[in-house]
């Protein structure tokens, strides 16, 4: 993982995009947290228009209510569409003597249309989220493993044969054979540098390479030119794996947070029911 991460963060392309990406992430976070981008748009308006304020009383009151609603949504992470719903939720929490932070910890499952103001995930939803989380972790492990590989995946232009190449030789991408109805759907083969030296057409017999491709690949393996291409391809694969792993792990982290908030929602509902019983 260390080689993949180092190659990813030291890439000039990533270094150039880091600031715009952070700004974009900040915008997306505010938009997701508050339910709108009006907070940021208001800041931009103040920069453009200076200290000029809205003078119409009705519009000014509307803007103030909108700001209050967005501030409530952003601080608590609870999505409500009307300021009245936010007031009702605050009143309900106070009446049950439950801190608003407990509703914030179950934010995705807070439902202002429900009598108890919280609707926990069903068993099917919970199981589905755990399954997806496991799949994401497995996918991240596969991506990291691919990024740590020292083999480059290349494809010939003529026969369109895909193969793996490293310092020892070239081989098929498949690590096992699959056959059906007497036909080989996926075969394994390996051609080392020493084999290429003695038999330049070894690739023709190993896979669907043409004679010219077999000679060219064997020649590049012997003179070292293939090693340069392998090094460049491996560097690109590590950068791509770094991006993919970052995206997958971000999705997994967000899903895990969603699952934990579902657990908090069940606990919160139990507290509300107990408070009503007493």
User: Which residues, 6+ apart, have CB-to-CB distance to 225 below 8 Å?
Assistant: none
Crossing angle (nearest 10°) for helices 57-76 and 83-95: 50
Q: Residue 9: is its pLDDT beyond 70?
A: no
pLDDT 10s digits, 125-180? 999 999 999 999 999 999 988 888 888 888 888 778 888 888 778 888 765 454 44
Helix H, strand E, coil C: the string for 220-262 is HHHHCHHHHHHHHHHHHHHHHHHHHHHHHHHHHHHHHHHHHHH
**What band does 186 get if pLDDT is binned at 50, 70 and 90?**
low
**What band does 187 get if pLDDT is binned at 50, 70 and 90?**
low
Beta strands in 181-273 (DSSP E): 183-186, 190-192
Average pLDDT over residues 11-28: 72
What pLDDT sits at residue 157?
83
pLDDT 10s digits, 214-236? 888 888 888 878 888 888 888 88
Top-confidence residue, 244 or 191: 244
Q: Residue 181: is its pLDDT beyond 50?
A: no
Residue with tokens 């990291």: 144
Kindly state the tokens that stand for 188. Answer: 């394994």
Query: Is this model's pTM higher than 0.75 or not?
Result: no
Top-confidence residue, 7 or 67: 67
């Amino acid at each position: 993982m260390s080689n993949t991460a180092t190659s990813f963060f030291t890439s000039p392309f990533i270094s150039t995009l880091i600031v715009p990406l952070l700004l974009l992430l900040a915008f997306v976070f505010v938009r997701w947290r508050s339910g709108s981008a009006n907070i940021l748009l208001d800041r931009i308006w103040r920069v453009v228009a200076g200290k000029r304020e809205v003078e119409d009383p009705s519009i000014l009151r509307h803007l103030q209510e909108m700001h209050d609603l967005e501030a409530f949504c952003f601080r608590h992470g609870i999505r409500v569409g009307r300021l009245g719903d936010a007031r009702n939720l605050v009143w309900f929490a106070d009446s049950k003597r439950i801190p608003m932070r407990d509703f914030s910890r179950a934010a995705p499952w807070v439902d202002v249309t429900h009598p108890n103001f919280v609707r926990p995930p069903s068993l099917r939803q919970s199981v589905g989220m755990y399954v997806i989380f496991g799949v994401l972790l497995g996918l991240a492990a596969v991506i990291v493993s691919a990024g740590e590989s020292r083999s480059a995946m290349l494809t010939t232009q003529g026969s369109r044969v895909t193969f793996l190449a490293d310092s020892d030789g070239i081989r098929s991408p498949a690590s096992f054979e699959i056959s059906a109805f007497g036909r080989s759907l996926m075969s394994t083969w390996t051609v080392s540098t020493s084999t290429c030296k003695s038999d330049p057409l070894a690739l023709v017999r190993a896979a669907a390479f043409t004679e010219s491709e077999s000679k060219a690949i064997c020649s590049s393996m012997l003179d070292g030119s293939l090693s340069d291409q392998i090094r460049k391809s491996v560097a690109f694969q590590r950068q791509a794996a770094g991006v993919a792993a970052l995206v997958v792990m971000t999705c997994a982290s967000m899903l895990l947070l969603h699952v934990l908030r579902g657990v908090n929602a069940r606990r919160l509902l139990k507290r509300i029911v107990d408070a009503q019983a007493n």
